[in-house]
């Protein structure tokens, strides 16, 4: 029975925002594994150019993150969410119209800006809906919707491609699912929240959580390896591991680890074990990356998927909670955008630099670099950032 001390989490609005998030990321992940192949086959460019084109999405998302945090904290959140989600949906149609590499790059980059806006809007709305007493648990469950999308989206995408050898149906599915996500978020009953009036004088802390700057560095370094991992997985599996038709299973196994860890880490966060959860997740990620790099056989490939899922699921939920705990309630949008800014910056660097490393060396070398970069990220977090968080946290 629900008590005043334990208010309900799974309200209709929370279900709607979680479903909208699942469909948003499903449409995103549906395209992720086939885009390197699509760009290469359609426009006949090399790996380095492909990396630059794909990185444009993340770069634009990165550039709008600080602005999106300011907008979420300043304007009515549900109206902003609906506008951003609609724009995000419409850009999927643009891929079908891109007949040149320049036009495709322009559409891809602009779509990244829409992604940056809608993800901050939706995640901040979710935190508004969660009861404060169950926020750690709520963040974990909300993250599960991302992870389910990660499992189903790439697997379905690769299945369609391997069966049909056509890209158009995959783009069409993204259009439909993003429209369904828009329908879901339109049903949210947003709580009445006081929003800040636009200030005549804008300062840096209106766009980024200044207290969270040290926390951003380890996020960037770990998401660097994730950017390489998620973008070049299909090509790596084919060229380095010899897996020609089962890379989609990697995402399914990884998502199983993500879901399991999300459910567990929520309880740890509710007990206040924030930096401890981050450190644990980082160590598990390092183990998974080491398995991925060292054992280039199918067994090692899929075992690494599960370990990486547990690691990233534990780490990412706790990192988002860390940024939220550094900010007052009126700055939740800024806190979320700061976290996502760091994550996007790392992914963008990983996609861009990883493509160049693969061009001059190999994909295996790109993943080895990702492992080393993540190891540096853990050292910075454990010896510097965790002390900064303990001194500056508000709750």
The range of the structural domain enclosing residue 243 comes to 12-190+206-392
- DSSP-derived secondary structure letter, 187: T
Instruction: Give the model's pLDDT for residue 196.
Output: 53
> Residue 200: inside a domain, yes or no?
no
pLDDT on residue 199? 53
Mean pLDDT split into 10-residue runs, the chain, 395 residues: 67 93 92 84 80 80 84 86 93 84 90 90 89 81 82 81 85 93 92 55 70 94 90 79 74 85 81 91 96 88 92 90 86 85 85 84 89 96 94 86
* H-helix segments, the chain: 12-31, 35-43, 47-74, 77-95, 101-129, 135-164, 168-185, 213-231, 233-236, 247-270, 274-294, 298-326, 332-360, 363-380, 386-392
Q: What is the spatial distance between Cα 93 and Cα 21, in angstroms, rounded to a whole number?
A: 19
- Residue 228 tokens read as 């390489």
Residue 39 forms part of a structural domain? yes
Q: Annotate 135-163 with b (16+ C-beta within 10 A) or e (fewer).
A: bbbbbbbbbbbbbbbbbbbbbbbbebbee
pLDDT for the residue numbered 246: 62
Q: What is the pLDDT of residues 49-81, one digit of tens each?
A: 887 888 788 788 878 888 888 888 888 888 999
367 contacts: CB under 8 Å, gap ≥ 6: 225, 228, 229, 236, 289, 292, 293
Q: Is residue 172 part of a domain?
A: yes
The owner of tokens 């492909």 is 50
pLDDT of residue 202: 56
Number of structural domains found in the chain: 1
Q: What is the dihedral of CA 66, 67, 68, 70, to 10 degrees?
A: 90
Look at residue 203 in the predicted model and tell me its pLDDT.
Answer: 60
pTM score of the predicted model: 0.79
- Using alpha carbons only, how large is the chain's radius of gyration in Å? 20
Residues 6+ positions from 215 with CB-CB distance below 8 Å? 319, 322, 323, 326, 342, 385, 388, 389
DSSP state, 379? Answer: H
CB 347 within 8 A of CB 224: yes
Phi and psi of 197, rounded to 5°? -80, 145
DSSP string spanning 239-288?
Answer: III--SS-HHHHHHHHHHHHHHHHHHHHHHHHTT-HHHHHHHHHHHHHHH
The answer to the question of residue 330 being in a domain is yes
Domain assignment present for 199 = no
d(CA 260, CA 265): 9
The DSSP string of 124-169 is HHHHHHS-GGGHHHHHHHHHHHHHHHHHHHHHHHHHHHHHH--SHH
CA atoms within 13 A on the CB side of 167: 17
Judge whether 269 lies within some domain. yes
- pLDDT reported for residue 298: 86
**Cα of 213 vs its chain's centroid, Å:** 19
Please check whether residue 198 lies inside any domain of the structure. Answer: no
- The rounded distance, in Å, linking the Cα atoms of 15 and 187 is 10
CATH number of the domain encompassing residue 305:
1.20.1250.20
- The answer to whether residue 6 is domain-embedded is no
Q: What is the largest CA-CA distance in the chain?
A: 61
């Amino acid at each position: 029975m629900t008590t005043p001390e334990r208010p309900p989490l799974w309200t209709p609005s929370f279900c709607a925002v979680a479903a909208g998030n699942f469909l948003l990321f499903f449409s995103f992940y549906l395209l992720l594994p086939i885009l390197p192949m699509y760009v290469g086959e359609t426009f006949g460019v090399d790996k380095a150019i492909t990396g630059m084109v794909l990185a444009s999405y993340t770069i634009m998302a990165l550039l709008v993150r600080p602005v999106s945090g300011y907008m979420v904290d300043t304007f009515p959140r549900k109206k902003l969410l609906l506008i951003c989600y609609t724009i995000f949906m419409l850009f999927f149609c643009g891929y079908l119209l891109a007949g040149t590499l320049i036009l495709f790059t322009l559409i891809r980059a602009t779509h990244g800006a829409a992604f940056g806006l809608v993800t901050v809007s939706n995640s901040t709305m979710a935190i508004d809906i969660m009861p404060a007493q169950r926020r750690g648990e709520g963040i974990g469950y909300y993250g599960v919707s991302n992870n389910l999308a990660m499992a189903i989206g790439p697997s379905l995408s690769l299945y369609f491609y391997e069966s049909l050898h056509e890209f158009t149906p995959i783009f069409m599915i993204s259009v439909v699912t993003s429209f369904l996500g828009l329908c879901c978020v339109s049903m949210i009953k947003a709580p009445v929240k006081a929003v800040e009036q636009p200030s005549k004088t804008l300062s840096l802390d209106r766009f980024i959580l200044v207290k969270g700057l040290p926390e951003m560095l380890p996020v960037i370094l770990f998401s660097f390896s994730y950017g390489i991992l998620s973008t070049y997985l299909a090509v790596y599996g084919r060229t380095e591991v010899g897996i020609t038709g089962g890379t989609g299973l990697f995402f399914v196994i990884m998502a199983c680890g993500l879901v399991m860890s999300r459910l567990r880490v929520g309880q740890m966060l509710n007990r206040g074990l924030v930096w401890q959860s981050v450190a644990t997740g980082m160590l598990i990620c390092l183990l998974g990356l080491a398995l991925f790099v060292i054992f280039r056989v199918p067994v090692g490939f899929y075992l690494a998927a599960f370990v990486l899922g547990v690691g990233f699921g534990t780490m990412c939920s706790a990192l988002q909670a860390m940024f939220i705990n550094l900010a007052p309630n009126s700055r939740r949008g800024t806190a979320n955008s700061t976290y996502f800014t760091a994550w996007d910056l790392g992914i963008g660097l990983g996609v861009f630099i990883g493509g160049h490393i693969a061009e001059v060396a190999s994909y295996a070398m790109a993943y080895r670099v990702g492992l080393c970069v993540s190891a540096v990220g853990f050292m910075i977090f454990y010896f510097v950032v965790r002390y900064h968080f303990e001194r500056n946290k508000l709750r």
